[in-house]
Amino acid sequence: MSLPHAILASLLEKPCSGAELARRFDKSIGHFWQASHQQIYRELGKLDDAGMVESTGRDTGRGRERHYLVLPAGRALLEQWCRSEAAPRPVRDELLVRLRAAAVLGDVNLTAEISRHRELHQRQLEHYQDIQERDFPGTTAGRPAGGTEQDRLQYAVLRAGILFEEAWLAWSAETLDGTVKR
């Protein structure tokens, strides 16, 4: 149940239209909470009905651009959610199910698929590193060169992405090493 909150956070940072929100999602929050434009429009509608956001151009219908703005109630909701507790989601990965299935079937070789994933993760890691260079220059590992509390939080989020991709790379390296080459 974090999509509405992710939307509120993004809108709070900068009010915008649904389409722009969808685009911005792809480039920031979407790195760890994805949503299609249909989901976003749906949630924006609900948030509007609930009085959490305000939309310019009511009753404008289809092709008309609508701008959204977070209302105080929306900010309060986000803050409350932000202070609440939630359990971490367990891992959910299809490739691991495939590995388990291959272990049962006994005659499926997953080397190529693991390599393919490895390259995808490699590319994702490079992407994150590019963002790091752009947004947090002068930082090679650990903590940012300085900056506000907000910078540190943003950096922490990016850092999580980097560490996960690195974990994937480490895993695929040792797995390819152990399952095939020997």
Partner DNA sequence: ATATCCATGTAACGTGTTACATGATTGT
Partner DNA sequence: ACAATCATGTAACACGTTACATGGATAT
Residues that bind DNA (CB under 7 A): 1, 3, 17-20, 34-39, 41-42, 44-45, 60-66
Helix (H) or strand (E) holding 53: strand 53-56
Does 144 sit near its own copies (CB under 8 A)? yes
Q: Does 126 bind its own copies (CB under 8 A)?
A: no
Closest to its own copies by CB, 21 or 121: 121
* Least distance in angstroms from the C-beta of 114 to its own copies: 9
Q: Which is nearer to DNA, 100 or 143 (CB)?
A: 100
**For residue 142, which of 159, 128, 154, 158 has the smallest C-alpha distance?**
159
**Residues 163, 126: Cα–Cα separation, whole Å:** 12
Distance CA(169)–CA(182), nearest Å, equals 19
**Inter-CA distances, 162 with 9, 15, 28, 156, Å:** 22, 28, 14, 10
Tell me which amino acid residue 3 is. L
Q: Does 142 sit near its own copies (CB under 8 A)?
A: yes
Q: Which of 50, 53, 51 is nearest to 21 (CA)?
A: 53
Nearer of residues 65 and 79 to its own copies, judged by Cβ: 79
According to CB under 8 A, which residues from 82 to 121 bind its own copies?
82-83, 85-108, 110, 113, 116-117, 120-121
156 binding its own copies? (CB under 8 A): yes
